[in-house]
Structure 1
Amino acid sequence: MGSRTVDWNVAVSTATRLIKAGPSVPRAEADRAVRALREFSVRAETHVRETTGLGQDLPVVEGDVVDRPGWLHGAARGLAELTDAALDTADIDLERGNGELLGGLGSRSAGVQAGAVLAYLGTKVLGQYDPFAPVPGEDRSGRLLLVAPNIVAAQQALEVPDEDFQMWVCLHESTHRLQFNAVPWLREHFAAGLGDLLTEMEGSVGEVLSRVPAAVREMRPGRDGNERHGAGEPSPGMLGVIELLQSPRQRAAMDRIIAISTLLEGHADHVMDAVGPQVVPTVHTIRKRFTERRAGGGLLDRLLRSLLGVDAKIKQYAQGAAFTRHVVDTVGMEGFNAVWSGPEYLPSRAEITDPATWIHRVHG
């Protein structure tokens, strides 16, 4: 797996050595879970189409049920394709190697670091739709991966019915698959947005470090003891620190990526719960326990989540779901689907937290 920034073969081999084994499950139970997930990956998308009105005429393809190593390989292939697609749109000279954020890190070293991240996430991820992953043996991209051992482990930890939980997970991932397959411009737009971010990130480490003093001042408590970024608010996490170190153009590029990611995740969370009651009788119990589980974990786990941006992603689910819910309640699902009309109709990061502004802009 070639890439111009990361040696993904090194990443996979590193992750394979580091990743923990999945739960011990009797073979018959494991086989049942695999069969159910394959079936639900098709049934779930049918329900999602009925709820969203998207992709009615598209073929439904069965999802790929994988183990943890299978997810590692699939995720690495998809990330390699996404990175290269983004770099194709970015004006970056990776050969200069003069200490730049991208060029200053060797691809093998980057592969080791990426592998450590994949090893951690490989025990957490339940499933994903990767629009950039090539499909083995076929001339197309886009794979829905369902990580069976992680789904089984989560279901057991939550103590909820297995088939309800399996369908619930498939509803979320099938929504992502439908988003990219029913909206033909979305894949390229997402890659271009990442390319813009990479372009703006180019610059010497010294330039970034030169902004540290200002960032520290922003984070320092004021005379009244409140943080300067907002009275009474907690100090920013890793994402907040990164944003404080960014230039205005870098922040604008990141805002665009965060906005679209928040929309996609929140929309999927909203849909999985909206579909839920008729096909997942215990959906409310699952949602409550799953939300509590997202916020839990030991000190080391919470630290890793923060450093890897997982906590920021959890906030994306909540913000995006709240945006979707407000818009659907106000203008209906058909009105919400205006977000898929073109890039200019996507909500900005500010509009995600103020959906009434998006409604006014798009629907007048």
Structure 2
Amino acid sequence: MPDIPFGFSLPGAQPPDPSDPQQMQQFMAQLQQMFAAPGSGPVNWDLARQVAASQLSATGDPAVNMLERHQVEEALRLADLWLDPITALPSGIHKAVAWNRNEWIYNTLEVWKKLCEPIAGRMVGAMGDLVPEEARAQLGPMQSMVATLGGALFGGQLGQAFGQLAAEVLSAGDIGLPLGPAGTAALVPANIKVYGSGLELPEDQVRLYVALREAAHQRLFGHVPWLRAHVLSAVETYANGITVNREAIEDAMSRVDPSDPESMQQMALEGIFTPEDTPQQKASLARLETALALVEGWVGHVVDAAAADRLPSVAALGEAFRRRRAAGGPAEQTFAALVGLELRPRRLREAGALWASVAEHRGIAGRDALWDHPDLLPTDEDFTNPESFAQSSSDWDISELDNLGEGPTEK
């Protein structure tokens, strides 16, 4: 008997045996617990955490030992030293930690809530709309169960996606978003070990390269006060333009047999969300992709510069990470299919070349001064001609920021 209502894709989950009173009593207690859960939003986050934890329990979540903690702390300390002469932004690390996979989920969940709930809310609302008008009046208070069921469905599916993501991510900032607590640099040793073995490169070099990327992310988001809100609002704006495919929801719901809890396992929400093909949505997508590319391009540029003469495998690691970020891992693709949101910087190479060109013309301080205000940053069009942007920006007087105002305030 599964530990989670409806047995969301748990290995070996079986529906209760109607002839077994104990199994049926346990199953009904689980249903009651699920529907009695506080309705704090369109996603049952308690269920999402349970599903993710159960999935990680089945696939494995190695504990972080003392040696790994020491290795992570030393790698992040060394990474910060290497970055000091490469960027004008000071260290943003206040705390260096090693997380297991469950800790990654726990420490990033608050940001995921902010990003996923608007999308989930539209799905739950669409599920309620599928109930005929006359039936809604008859349902009365029972209608709230539709929203509860929708929150459970989305929570279960998100839990699976988080469980998969947690088994792949290498650090807190691995997918380009500021997911973890501010000032906390975190690596996931178990995933770094697996990733490094796939590259056939020394684990200590892979760990140090990941630490460099994490430390660079912390500098950028720690000392560019408007950037966190800018990136997250770009994600939110794009997500707000995603529409719900009601036919896909109706088709998914038609596959559920209320008398067969196992049928819930077969329900997939992929394809329910589709981006609107409107000028506004295309503009928000371009803004999101540009923001992600600028962040990731800067990180890759400064990391490769910092490791150039120190890390023997820097060229291979840099190329591997660019390909990894451009393509996205299997779990990232699952997440994109689930919520209709891709978090990949499509123009990563162009962004890296642009930052390198700016550094050549403006120097390190001039390059990093462009982060002083969003209006100073390159646009999507600048990616096609980085040399032209670098040359024109070298003539700018950064003191002109006064004319731009104080920039956006962080939410």
Contact 2:123–2:150 under 8 Å retained in 1: no
The answer as to 2:278 corresponding to 1:247 is yes
Question: Among residues 314, 317, 328, which one is paired with 1:286 in the alignment?
Answer: 317
Question: Deviations 1:241-285 (Å, cap 9, x if unpaired)?
Answer: 966x42111111121121111111121111211111344233224
How far residue 186 of structure 1 moved from its aligned partner, in angstroms, is 1.3
Letter in 1 for 2:201: V
Partner in structure 2 of residue 68 of structure 1:
101
Secondary structure at the aligned position of 1:64 is classed as strand
| 3-state DSSP of counterpart to 2:59 | coil
2:365 maps to 334
Offset at residue 355 of structure 1 (A): 2.5
Q: Residue 117 and residue 52 in structure 1: after superposition, are their counterparts in 2 closer, same or farther (change >3 A)?
A: same
**Residue identity matched to 1:80:** K
Say if 2:69 is the partner of 1:34: yes
Equivalent position of 1:46 in the other structure = 81
- 2:361 touches 2:394 (CA, 8 Å); kept in 1? no
Q: Distance in 2 between matches of 1:247 and 1:297?
A: 25
2:190 is the counterpart of 1:149: yes
Alpha-carbon distance, 1:55 to partner? 2.3
Corresponding residue number in structure 2 for 1:118: 162
Shift of residue 296 of structure 1?
9.4
1:275 aligns with 2:306: yes
Shift of 1:99: 6.3
Summarize deviations over 1:163-198 as a string: whole Å, max 9, x none: 222111000011111111111111222333334334
Structure 2's unaligned 5+ residue stretches are: 1-37, 130-145, 249-269, 396-411
Measured after TM superposition, the shift of residue 147 of structure 1 is 0.8
Q: Which residue of 1 aligns with 2:379?
A: 348
**Which whole-Å CA distance do the structure 1 matches of 2:95 and 2:309 have between them?**
22
Q: Deviations along 1:21-51, whole A, 9 cap, x unmatched?
A: 35889x9xx5433211112223312322321
Task: Find the aligned partners of 2:274 and 2:73 in 1 and give their Cα distance.
Answer: 39
The separation in 2 between residues aligned to 1:361 and 1:207, in whole angstroms, is 51
**1:212-223 equivalence runs, <5 A:** none
Q: Which residue of 2 aligns with 1:13?
A: 50
Picking from 211, 229, 233, the partner of 1:192 is 233
2:125 counterpart residue number: 97
State the identity %. Answer: 25
Q: Distance in 1 between matches of 2:239 and 2:344?
A: 20
| Contact 1:127 1:169 (8 Å CA) reproduced | yes
When residues 163 and 185 of structure 1 are mapped into structure 2, their CA distance, relative to the original with a 3 A threshold, is same
Question: Residue 23 and residue 13 in structure 1: after superposition, are their counterparts in 2 closer, same or farther (change >3 A)?
Answer: closer
In 1, Cα distance between the equivalents of 2:70 and 2:386?
40
Gap regions ≥5 residues in structure 1: 135-140, 209-237
Computing the radius of gyration from Cα coordinates, the structure with the larger value is: 2
Distance 1:70 1:277, change over 3 A: same
Aligned AA for 2:125? Answer: G
Using the alignment, how far apart are the partners of 1:310 and 1:277 within structure 2? 34
TM-score by length of 2: 0.63
Contact 2:171-2:214 at 8 Å conserved across structures: yes
In 2, the alpha carbon distance for the partners of 1:342 and 1:119 equals 37
Q: Distance in 1 between matches of 2:123 and 2:201?
A: 52
Does structure 2 conserve the Cα–Cα contact (< 8 Å) formed by 1:65 and 1:147? Answer: yes
- Per-residue CA deviation, residues 197-229 of structure 1 (Å, 9 max, x unaligned), is 34444x664799xxxxxxxxxxxxxxxxxxxxx
Preserved CA contact (<8 Å) 1:2 1:80: no
CA RMSD after TM alignment: 4.4
Check conservation: 1:79, 1:133, Cα contact below 8 A.
Answer: no
State TM-score, norm by structure 1.
Answer: 0.70
Could you tell me which residue of structure 2 aligns to residue 258 of structure 1? 289
